Structure 1
């Protein structure tokens, strides 16, 4: 048995967990990953060097994405809609690229391998670990279904041990996928797991809807309200930017801001250039 081995849930392992770590029978904990260093798992004179085997839970990738997306639900409209804005989606996309290349200290990505028994995209939660006594070594070993390649064992060891020197592993681009297919993979994962709403429409609903009304919405109602809202007009955004810059540069005094905005709104030249 080696660090990074993927362990399936067998009846024997589940009976053991029920006795020592019943919480790990959670249905979302589909598999487990061995975190103990390989050198400590080698049998010497009939004994294992370490008294314990550390395992962490492997859960669906969707759970990781949901956690990350919630960071960008920055107002009650987004929370009620259980969605993020386009700007938030961009950040989730960046997070995913780091995650899938296993450059995130919290998780270790496990790609779906149907022929090996892993039917979904999964993630090992490196901080969600338990210890089993080495007397149960045979039960764990018998449940093993996959082992990591040596370079990925090294990457896992770096993540788990918090070693401050980067272990090199092949990223998805260009070894596994060309860049266009890699970007398509990221986009598909985001679309499958995250609802994205227009930034301007979210802001409009937030600004124009009383808080108690938003509080009463369910998810479907919140999404419908945002999708049906009128986004802020580009012309109004341009006017706000221009007048703010001029005010901050002390070109327009504060007491003339309203007049400046009104003049720009009525400007036929601006209307002709910015039609929405």
Structure 2
């Protein structure tokens, strides 16, 4: 049913709250590895700016457990989970596949049957948190968005698409773009879908011309910081693939204010089962 407000243009300020995962618990209840049955549990948390991770393996016959602790971050369409292992760091990758999640490493994780490690999110043990958000729509098509993560807000634009409101905001500092699709629910707006566009920039290995082993990889900004601190010099070379080398000062984005070389954009969609409602203020 279409209300009288269906398809009307928004005007002014709308406030509400949105939910995000505070801790996510992923489990594989039975994995057959080297003839033994294991229970696996992965916990990813967001605690302020910190993002701790825990990986638990439990042998089901003996209940012997191995717990690893580390950190996680959003990667190129995957969650990247890092665990210190002596002087090295072991990385795992978690990505969604249908309604489930796949956990893998650089060499490929498989059980005795050759199947991937498939996990499910335990919604009963996972926890969400809410935080306030505010949209402001101007009649000239400009928009403003504030949230707990962006208290100063970011500006953008809005337009009507098929009787729905599409609002797009760009964080100039990170290059991240958020696009919200909203529909009318009486006199209130509800968020139907959120699309995130996150750019990924090249990282570079660094070496001296007579060195066989390179260090890195580093972002262009980190190269500049290393150069300014004296760690790198004019003789250093850089390469994003460990094959083609250029002078470090020729790297795009090396000079402050210059544009970095972008590898590609990662796009992620969130469709809300229970759409957050925004009330006019």
Q: Is TM more than 0.5 here?
A: no
Range of TM-score over shorter length:
under 0.3
Q: Which is richer in strand?
A: 2
Q: Which is richer in helix?
A: 1
Q: Structure 2 length as normaliser, TM-score?
A: 0.22
Higher RCO structure (Cα 8 Å, ≥6 apart):
1
Larger radius of gyration: 1
Q: Structure 1 length as normaliser, TM-score?
A: 0.22
